Amino acid sequence: MRKMIVAGNWKMNKNLQEGIQLVKDILEVSADLKADKQVVICPPFIHLASASELVVAKDNLYTGAQNCHMEASGAYTGETSAEMVKSTGATHVIIGHSERREYFNESNEMLAAKTNAALSNGLNVIFCCGEPLEIRDAGTQNNYVEEQIKAGLFHLNLEQLNNIVIAYEPIWAIGTGRTASSEQAQDMHAHIRSLIKNHYGDDAAENITILYGGSCKPSNADELFSCPDVDGGLIGGASLNAADFHGIIAAMLAQ
Ligand code: PGA
């Protein structure tokens, strides 16, 4: 069964008190979610334990981290392991966000190792991919994203793939207000699904959740989510406001 998901990526926003308030506000406005229509809130690490405690009573609402380290433990000052994330009650982790790839030099190899660490600790991975503007302008975005998916995920077996959600986030659309058109999103999502089909077969392709991310907001969520291969969104800016986030959740529930 393919799930739709709306995931909020808070990035480095909200102090602890503000974050707790935002989770409470989201809980207040969140309509009834379903097993196949879920929400994941991804605050900074320091909010995770409190946020997880707050959402535990709400069905189909989960928390996730925005990153984790690939090693299990040790002398990695400032880092957080997948096991630590799991111990907060979080169930998901975002791996390979374009900001991590760019500002923290996370290579495909590191991202594959982080994905392994997350899966072996029982976390679901929201694996991000997406091309920069110059690649889109050159028209080679399909190959670019294909390389990211192959390098990050194709070492996994079919069972492991069940715990992967893919998020397609064209870098030129992140935080810019410039959303990919629903046609651009659908084309890339269909391409990603065909890659999964070729490597893992029909059922895996049919079941995998592929999110769109990049300036998704209440006013465009419905059009994006109604594309056949768009199974929800990874939401940055609009996840920082409970009313906007709720509008996007409502668009998912209306599908
Ligand atoms: P945005 O960010 O919604 O603010 O464009 C999306 C993301 O980076 O996940």
pLDDT single digits (tens) 197-244: 999 999 999 999 999 999 999 999 999 999 999 999 999 999 999 999
Task: Give the architecture-level CATH label for domain 4-253.
Answer: Alpha-Beta Barrel (3.20)
Phi and psi at residue 188, to the nearest 5°: -70, -40
Residue 178 has pLDDT above 90, yes or no: no
Taking residues 87-110, what's their average pLDDT? 97
Taking residues 43-56, what's their average pLDDT? 97
Q: How far apart are CA 177 and CA 9, in angstroms?
A: 16
244 lines ligand 1 (CB under 6 A): no
Q: Report the predicted TM-score, pTM, of the whole model to 2 decimal places.
A: 0.97
Residue 74 CA to ligand 1 center (angstroms) comes to 32
Residue type, 138: A
214 lines ligand 1 (CB under 6 A): yes
Residue 177 CA to ligand 1 center (angstroms) comes to 9
pLDDT at position 177 is 83
